[in-house]
Structure 1
């Protein structure tokens, strides 16, 4: 197998990637600890925040695209959030099978509580 020669910039980026992975894991762990008392994880908080930040209700596939996640993973978490009454599904006038995800009042309160925990 031929060894590919990297540019100095390519080598620097390659050496930075493990640090980015570690940083990501630390951010997720810190987020999990921060919102645990609300019954959330970083993943659930991320999805609730994405729903809250959207200009209008979106289907799961769009939410997944916005956060760069797999639709199936987002669907599983959205279903859990719906079971807990944090989001609900509304009919999508543009697609019969892809319901729109909407925060409930309880979901809005949890997002607000999470953001208050995050501010300090």
Structure 2
């Protein structure tokens, strides 16, 4: 991957300067936070996409496979996948349909609810997600581009933001296993 040459000035610092110069001082810090996080997301997603490309997986498809692989039986109700990934049901349904089409997941009837569906990982899906996880761990997660202390601080800050936005209630020190 060819990296672009760094800019001589941080464009987000310049944007903040412009915000202040235009009289939007009260919103300047917030604009800088939002655009900084969005740019960081772009940078991280580019690394994730590059690591997953050899496996023909998007991050959304990877997340569903990884979630199923983490479960005790390799299967979860579709509603549990929606809740745990915190995305809209139609997004998970669309992603699951592609995974089914590719033979990585099968859709099964729910054992207790005739209206609900279960997603179950196939052997091919399990093999693929394990190989993709090894690549993500080596190429992205082992070195996200921050020191250990900065990474911990960033995660804590974002967790407070997510909690305050209603993403979750303060969890136990470690979540319960799937």
**Do they superpose with TM above 0.5?**
yes
Query: Does residue 54 in structure 1 map to residue 49 in structure 2?
Result: no
Higher relative CO (CA 8 A, sep ≥ 6), structure 1 or 2?
Answer: 1
- Scaled by the length of structure 2, what TM-score is found? 0.57
Partner of 1:63: 81
Taking the TM superposition and a 5 Å limit, the aligned residue runs for 1:76-91 are 76-91=94-109
2:92 alignment counterpart: 74
Counterpart CA distance in 1 for 2:35 and 2:88 is 22
Q: Displacement, 1:12? A: 5.1
Q: How many residues align?
A: 113
Q: Name the CA distance, whole Å, in 2 between partners of 1:25 and 1:94.
A: 41
Question: Structure 1 CA distance, aligned partners of 2:109 and 2:97?
Answer: 15
Q: What is the alpha-carbon distance in structure 2 between the residues aligned to residue 97 and residue 59 of structure 1?
A: 11
2:119 aligned with 1:101, yes or no?
Answer: yes
**Residue of structure 2 in register with 1:36 after alignment:** 53
Task: Report the structure number with the largest CA radius of gyration.
Answer: 2
Unaligned residue ranges in structure 2 (runs of 5+): 1-25, 139-178
Do structure 1's residue 111 and structure 2's residue 121 form an aligned pair? no
Moved more, 70-79 or 38-47: 38-47
Q: What does the per-residue CA deviation read over 1:24-67, in whole Å, with 9 as the maximum and x for residues that have no partner?
A: 22222221111111111111111211221234522222211111
Q: 2:36 maps to which residue?
A: 19
Alpha-carbon offset, residue 110 of structure 1 = 0.4
Q: Matched residues in 1 for 2:30 and 2:77: separation? A: 35
Superposition deviation, residue 13 in structure 1: 5.5
- When normalised by structure 1's length, the TM-score is 0.81
- Gap runs ≥5 in structure 1: 1-5
Q: Distance in 1 between matches of 2:124 and 2:57?
A: 13
Separation of aligned partners in 1, 2:67 and 2:30: 29
